[in-house]
Structure 1
Amino acid sequence: MSSPRHAALVTGGSSGIGLAVADALVTRGHAVTVLGRDESRLRRAAERLGAAGRGGSATGGGAVHTVVADVAEPQAAHAAVAAHIERWGRLDVLVNSAGLLATGPFESYSTATVTEVLDVDLRATILFCQAALPYLRKVAREASPLIVNIASISGKRADPGFSLYCAAKFGVVGFTAALHQELSGEGVGACAICPGLVDTPMADWARSWAPPSSMLRPEDIAGAVIRLLDLPPGQIPPELILS
């Protein structure tokens, strides 16, 4: 298969925000690698995106490749990026969308829960950026490579019952802001998107008082990613709040 003009890697891409982002990128003409932990969910995602199974095939303007990966594993980032490069030969866009929510009183979090949430929401974001950055830099002369880290309004605002999730998402926002400054002048953009409630299963805790009509849709976040792609790297903001 010839090298595509643009290629993107999306973690947490088998459902919710990640799937909507992958869909938007494929429609735009990107070759997309979609990551997820569950092979059957990834297969369904590939079907939605128009891909013929795990291998990927042409769909609209782009093409899709799926990789089964648990981003909580420390080695997942380099292995997934390597699989993406082997498939497509280049990387223009990294979207860290994999996320895990834990709610409840601070003292209720077990050590295992603390580890899992921080590994998925924060550490994986950092490690995927680290693994992807050399390849993003390679295309900076001919394209406008972009890192998008899906954070949350909980990365900007503290709420009781969300202390662990806030810790992770505040970390994502701070990390992305620092990375944005480090990459200034290199032609690589970095932005943390901080949405409010999004109509995905992660918002089930709020459905008793927040109807879907009051929530953002996954497609709203996908649209924000596409808008960022249309900006020159020097105009990419370090964060984007959606409500």
Structure 2
Amino acid sequence: MTKLSVNINKFATLRNARGGNNPDLLQVARDCEQFGGQGITIHPRPDERHIRRSDVLELKDHINTELNIEGYPTEDFINLVCAVKPAQVTLVPDTPEQLTSNSGWNTKEKAEFLLPIISHFHEANIRVSIFIDPQKEMADNALRCGADRVELYTEPYARQYRVDRKKAVTPYVECALHCQKIGLGINAGHDLSLENLAYFSEQIPFLDEVSIGHALVCDALYLGLEKTIESYLKCLSTSGN
């Protein structure tokens, strides 16, 4: 079954809005695990607008599932990740000032940049995932750079889902099958939700992991966190059938 990694950035945004420690990010992470989440994802940014450096250092020692740290590989980010040694680092091409991710890496053009960074993380025994658009060429070059997995950028799928879900998912299926053939692990994330996740999971039942934050937190406002995580896990359960 595909694993659910809960992105807790938005909980940190809520905490930071008022200062103090409400909600308690460490407790949120523990609760996500208790309610069935199989991983925790965080995206520390230089401005610390949600996840803080101190959060990153504390979380590693307080969760029992996999920690996935995503971000743009600045020197500070690389040093932080290597100090924490999470199970996985996901490299995204976001500039520090970006609000959120809006594209994958061009792994062909950025190969010389990515290759030594990936090698450095491997020396620290950290699995490396590269955020890409669903294109076979980008997957091929991610593998050449040494990546263990790719994370498919799913916002275009989510946007087109209501219009034509088959057309929306087709490039992802084709890319995922290619990744499976060449030996790349496959993650997915960005704008996956209770509306579109089950279908995506049915079409690509061999996904290793999905990382979901914004939609999950929004759903938790109405359903509660435990019920929300149960609902997302139910969407993924089809991938094992």
- For normalisation by structure 1, the TM-score amounts to 0.37
Q: Give the structure, 1 or 2, with the largest relative contact order (CA under 8 Å, sep 6 or more).
A: 2
- For normalisation by structure 2, the TM-score amounts to 0.38
